[in-house]
Amino acid sequence: MALPKKIKDLIPYYSYNIHFSDEDQAYVVSVTELAGCMTHGDSPAEALKMAHEAVEGHLEVLVSQKQGIPEPIAKIKASGDFLVRSNPELHQQLIRKSHEEGYKSLNKFVVDQLQKVVGK
């Protein structure tokens, strides 16, 4: 089954995670947005090529089963705003902690903490 062009054009935008596996003696690649979509190759370039083919096959199955196609993370437009819901006790603890650390804004404190989580 051939994929529609608009779906096939998404393939390079998926998140490919490549690492060398000592156990397999190969470069293994998984795709963040497509659970269970994995392959391998003798080099990173070969693994990526194989991954593109694996993604195409994975998407073909999803289309044939009339399932939704996950949007690549790279294609998701981020506004910079997102709402986080917590319980009132946690909210109060965060306010207290932010002030203890010298922040005048809870938002700035939370953004700084999130940047630490993602390594920035």
Chunked mean pLDDT (size 10), the chain, 120 residues: 92 98 97 97 98 98 96 95 95 96 94 93
Supply the pLDDT for residue 2.
Answer: 87
Burial (CB < 10 A; 0-12, 13-18, 19+), residue 18, is middle
Residue 34, number of CB atoms within 10 A of its CB: 19
Supply the pLDDT for residue 120.
Answer: 78
Residues 6 or more apart in contact with residue 22 via CB below 8 angstroms: none
Phi, psi of 2 (to 5 degrees): -85, 135
Distance, CA of 15 to CA of 49 (rounded, Å): 13
Supply the pLDDT for residue 23.
Answer: 96
pTM passes above 0.85: no
